[in-house]
Amino acid sequence: MVAPLLIVHGKAARDGNYNSGLGAFGPGNLANATTGRAVRLTLLHVAGATPGVGDASTQGSPAKYSYCVAENLDSSPWGGYARTVGIDDESAVTVHCGEAPHNVHDMESSEPSAILDKVASAMTSWGKNNAPISQGEYLLRCARNTLQHVLRMGGVDPILRLIYLTKLR
């Protein structure tokens, strides 16, 4: 099951009051909810993405109801996503073919490398739609405290470490 995931970047995210922080994938933000819902209604009524007809998903997903977040550039140690793919991130929207979010929960690891190993394991589990089938990209969203902890690892860039770990599986 995949659904269009919209990510709003830069000025559009700020001016539109899109949520990029706590609860960004959940209910409670008008901009995120209405934009995601508008895309879904367009797919249903204009593009014919009706379950069982133009949508082959057997179970459906809450991500198909509304799936829109903002990029949090202020908390990112890396440059903006839009810029990395050659789009001016001053004000942009990127659209991804994404599965519903997968939670990777780790309350016992004190070492950043153990956290990254769990994330890599979740990214490479059987049955994923995106990368193994279509060679697509992964979109990884990290809680601020987890990201800060992983960045303390030093030496190896966490993204490069994840690429290495996922290639081993």
Provide the pLDDT for residue 135: 60
Domain boundary among 101, 119, 141: 101
Q: Please name which of 150, 157, 154 lies closest in space to residue 118, comparing C-alpha atoms.
A: 150
Same domain, 76 and 136: no
Which residue among 59, 82, 101 closes a domain? Answer: 101
Q: Are residues 108 and 82 in the same domain?
A: no
pLDDT number for residue 13? 94
User: Are 78 and 115 in the same domain?
Assistant: no
Domains of the chain: total:
2
> What's the whole-model pTM score?
0.82
Q: Name beta bridge partners: 98.
A: 3
Q: For residue 128, name the pLDDT band (cuts at 50, 70, 90).
A: low
Contacts 24+ apart (CB under 8 A), 148-153: 149/112, 149/115, 150/112, 150/115, 150/116, 151/77, 151/112, 152/112, 153/112, 153/113, 153/116
pLDDT at 84 over 70: yes
Q: What is the pLDDT of residue 45?
A: 92
pLDDT of residue 69: 94
User: Which residue range(s) make up the domain with 38?
Assistant: 1-101
**Domain final residue, candidates 41, 67, 101:** 101
Same domain, 23 and 63: yes
**Top mean-pLDDT range of 32-41, 127-136, 148-157:** 32-41
For residues 60 and 96, membership in a common domain is answered with: yes
29 & 8 share domain:
yes
